[in-house]
Amino acid sequence: MTKLARQITRDEVAAYRHAGVVLLRGVLDLPAVNTLRRSIDQALMTMQDASPEQASSAGKSTVMFDIGLAARLREFRRFTLNGPGPEIAAGLLGGDQINFFGDQIFVKEPGTRERTAFHQDAGYFEIAGEQCCVLWIPVDPVTIESGSMMYWRGSHKSGAIYPGQVIAGQNAELPDIESNLDGFDIVHFDVEPGDMVVHHYRTVHGAAGNASRYQVRRAASLRYCGDDIRFQTRSWTPGQFRRNTSLKDGDPLSGTDFPVVWRRRTDQQAA
């Protein structure tokens, strides 16, 4: 299976841990990008009758998302479990073991006005701990015009968990970032296929719509967890993010929903 096009550097690890977000340029090769592109397009073909939770339209513009592709699409599952993601997560998180936690895709067609409100993934994940990262992987060029992700650097450090809306609405428990971007340490990245942005699951982030005339914005989000993550029920978690699991609060992740995708070798532990 496709592995890393290059190794993660110490500076990139330090940036992730300090800022809660890091841009990894050119870490995926063309076969990896094409695998994701095919999987996203395959998922979109099954979403023609999507519910309002999955898609919303305004004229010809549309924003769509889908969850749990790895459970349905064989090629996508191979990529999430055996591709470069586990190695990237291991390099950034440290520890001895990495579990796959889940996936999602996001598509914003040209002319889409709907923005992704500033939010925190931790508010939607039924887990607790520090070692969880989210790999945001575009398969199209993305600029601020077409909806590049914006991140509040350092926002992961407080330990706060914010439940809230993702599309359109502003999270009432978060400060009003959208109306005062200059008042926060916000960073965004123009990215190309082969790049990815990785953020801590508590890092607050959001995005504008896709104001471009022709450029679709397709991306996959892959989630991985390390040694210290434990299952934690959250009453506000939306239904589509809940898992049918026998895990109890405080249990480490395990089972078919959260397979181990990377383990540190004995010689690496000794080093």
Q: What is the pLDDT of residues 77-120, one digit of tens each?
A: 999 999 999 999 999 999 999 999 999 999 999 999 888 889 99
- Could you give the CA distance from residue 204 to residue 235 in angstroms, rounded to a whole number? 20
**Can you give the residue ranges of every domain in the chain?**
10-270
Helix axes 85-93, 10-19, angle to 10 degrees: 70
- Could you give the CA distance from residue 254 to residue 231 in angstroms, rounded to a whole number? 10
Burial class of residue 230 (count of CB atoms within 10 Å of its CB; 0-12, 13-18, 19+): middle
Q: 64 forms bridges with which residues in the sheet?
A: 55, 107
CATH, domain range 10-270: 2.60.120.620
On the question of pLDDT at 158 being above 80, the answer is yes
pTM, full prediction: 0.90
Average pLDDT, integer, range 52-61: 47
Percent of the chain residues past pLDDT 70, beyond the cut: 86
pLDDT for 81 equals 96
pLDDT for 243 equals 66
pLDDT digits (tens, 9 = 90+) for 194-248: 999 999 999 999 999 999 999 999 999 999 999 999 999 887 776 655 566 788 9
